[in-house]
């Protein structure tokens, strides 16, 4: 069963436990290339659901934990379940507390406009790390070279289909480079992954994640940006993500604005905008979602106003309202504009269209993972 998380606008909104909206609905144009078909529209974004499971993204998630950039996933280390003995010739890589302290210092310096410290400890720049099943973590291997001088390299492996961790026995398939392109204004991390199993090495991920943190008159402001592409057997996904959160301490709310664009494997472009307010104590959320799907099925727009869990909105195609959305985030309802209903297959497709919003938010959450805890949004 697919997870419905709408109201969680990626990593930046995850920390505030959101679910809501408020935006004036517009009419899209030009009209689509044909009559509205919920099934055709849902099919045009089918591959989008697999984007967060990209091999390189999954590796970066686990690497981030090894670096101490994020907290551990809730799971039992496989070393405990399989009785694996650590490889004694290798030593653990980063001390989580040390790297966390370093990035915390970077954030503080950024907020005060001071020169930022390096993202990675200087003694690990140019180093390569391998996965050690005994430690259930990446560890330094001094015998391997080729890593970027302003970053670190991690060997990439075939993943276990269930845990999304390196499968045992280990089978290397390439590498992931994390490169520090930060400056005095923002923390900028470049992620580049290469698949070396083909006859010609293929770049399967190349994107940057950029975060800036500062003070404003009302409180603090956080801006996260991600841009680039990832590709694997599920297809290629190009994206440009932009999230802005600004606290209003007097009103005890956080003002949220995000604009995400993803081009999926089918050639469909989706554009998601989210704007509104979140209570800092999590007591309420009031957000507006606008989700455009531009693909072979034509041009479809979803407008949703969500106050806490209740939702109200429309699905338009070629500018005409084709479905009225109600109910809750977890249990949506759909009616035709004139009050009629839909067939079971149409209802399932309409639900999949709304799930496309979740797919974009989950992808953003995964891409922002390395910088999420650094900027206090995880």
In which domain, by residue range, is 182 found? Answer: 61-233
Give residue-wise pLDDT tens across range 35-71. 899 999 999 999 998 888 888 888 888 887 766 655 5
**What is the reported pLDDT for 223?**
87
Entry pTM? 0.82
Structure tokens at 316: 């338009």
In a shared domain, residues 185 and 289:
no
**pLDDT, tens digit, for every residue of 99-114?**
445 445 555 555 555 5
Q: Are 75 and 147 within one domain?
A: yes
Using the 3D structure, point to which of 164, 198, 233 is the last residue of a domain.
233
Same domain, 342 and 362: yes
pLDDT at 283: 84
The string of pLDDT tens digits covering residues 209-256 is 988 877 778 888 888 899 999 998 888 999 999 998 888 888 888 888
Q: What is the pLDDT of residue 67?
A: 65
Q: Are residues 41 and 78 in the same domain?
A: no
Among 49-53, 132-136, 190-194, 282-286, the least confident range = 132-136
Chain Cα centroid distance, residue 50 = 12
Q: Are residues 286 and 172 in the same domain?
A: no
Q: Is 60 exceeded by the pLDDT of residue 330?
A: yes
Per-residue pLDDT at 76 exceeds 70: no
Residue 356 in domain:
yes
- Is 254 part of a structural domain of the chain? no
Residues 16 and 150 in one domain: no
Is 41 found in the same domain as 89?
A: no
Structural domain contains residue 170: yes
Is 117 within the bounds of a domain?
yes
Q: Which residues pair with 335 in a beta bridge?
A: 324
Do 40 and 72 reside in the same domain of the chain?
Answer: no
Overall domain count for the chain: 2
161 belongs to a structural domain:
yes
Of 210, 233, 256, which marks where a domain is finished? 233
Question: Is residue 29 predicted with pLDDT exceeding 80?
Answer: no
DSSP-assigned letters across all residues of 308-359: TTEEEEEEEETTEEEEEEEEBSSSEEEE-TTS----HHHHHHHHHHHHHHHH
Quick one: 47 and 78 in the same domain? no
Same domain, residue pair 285 and 344: yes
Asked whether residue 250 is domain-assigned, the answer is no
Q: Is the pLDDT of residue 298 over 60?
A: yes
Q: Model confidence over 343-354: pLDDT tens digits?
A: 999 999 999 999
Q: Is 149 helix (H, G, I), strand (E, B) or coil?
A: coil
- On whether both 45 and 69 belong to a single domain, the answer is no
Q: Is residue 331 part of a domain?
A: yes
Burial 244-275 (b: 16+ CB within 10 A, else e): bbbbeeeeebbbbebebbbbbbbebbbbbbbb
- Same domain? For 140 and 220 the reply is yes
> Could you say which of 233, 268, 297 is where a domain stops?
233
């Amino acid at each position: 069963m697919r997870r419905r998380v709408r109201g969680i606008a990626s990593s930046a909104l995850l920390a505030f436990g959101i679910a809501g909206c408020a935006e004036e609905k517009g009419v899209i144009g030009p009209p689509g290339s044909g009559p509205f078909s919920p099934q055709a529209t849902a099919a045009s974004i089918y591959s989008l659901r697999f984007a967060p499971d990209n091999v390189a993204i999954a590796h970066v998630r686990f690497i981030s934990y090894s670096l101490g950039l994020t907290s551990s996933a809730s799971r039992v280390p496989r070393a405990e379940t399989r009785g694996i003995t650590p490889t004694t010739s290798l030593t653990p890589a980063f001390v989580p507390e040390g790297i966390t302290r370093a990035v915390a210092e970077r954030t503080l310096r950024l907020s005060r406009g001071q020169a930022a410290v390096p993202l990675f400890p200087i003694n690990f720049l140019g180093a390569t790390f391998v996965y050690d099943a005994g430690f259930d973590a990446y560890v330094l291997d001094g015998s391997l070279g080729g890593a970027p001088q302003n970053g670190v390299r991690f060997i990439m492996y075939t993943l276990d289909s269930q845990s999304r961790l390196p499968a045992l026995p280990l089978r290397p398939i390439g590498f992931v480079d994390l490169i520090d392109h930060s400056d005095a204004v923002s923390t900028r991390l470049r992620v580049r992954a290469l698949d070396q199993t083909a006859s010609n090495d293929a770049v399967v991920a190349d994107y940057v994640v950029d975060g800036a943190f500062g003070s404003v008159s009302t409180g603090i402001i956080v801006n996260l940006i991600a841009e680039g592409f990832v590709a694997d057997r599920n297809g290629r996904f190009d994206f440009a993500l932009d999230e802005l959160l600004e606290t209003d301490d007097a009103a005890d709310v956080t003002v949220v604005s995000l604009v995400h664009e993803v081009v999926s494997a089918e050639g469909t472009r989706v554009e998601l905008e989210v704007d509104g307010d979140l209570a800092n104590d999590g007591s309420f959320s009031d957000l507006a979602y606008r989700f455009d799907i531009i693909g072979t099925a034509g041009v479809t727009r979803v407008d949703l106003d969500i106050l806490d869990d209740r939702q109200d909105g429309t699905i338009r195609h070629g500018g005409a309202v084709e479905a009225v959305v109600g109910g809750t985030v977890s249990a949506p309802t759909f009616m035709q504009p004139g009050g009629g209903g839909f067939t079971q297959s149409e209802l399932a497709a309409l639900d999949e269209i709304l799930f496309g919003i979740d797919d974009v938010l989950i992808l953003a959450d995964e891409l922002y993972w390395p910088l999420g805890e650094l900027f206090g949004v995880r």
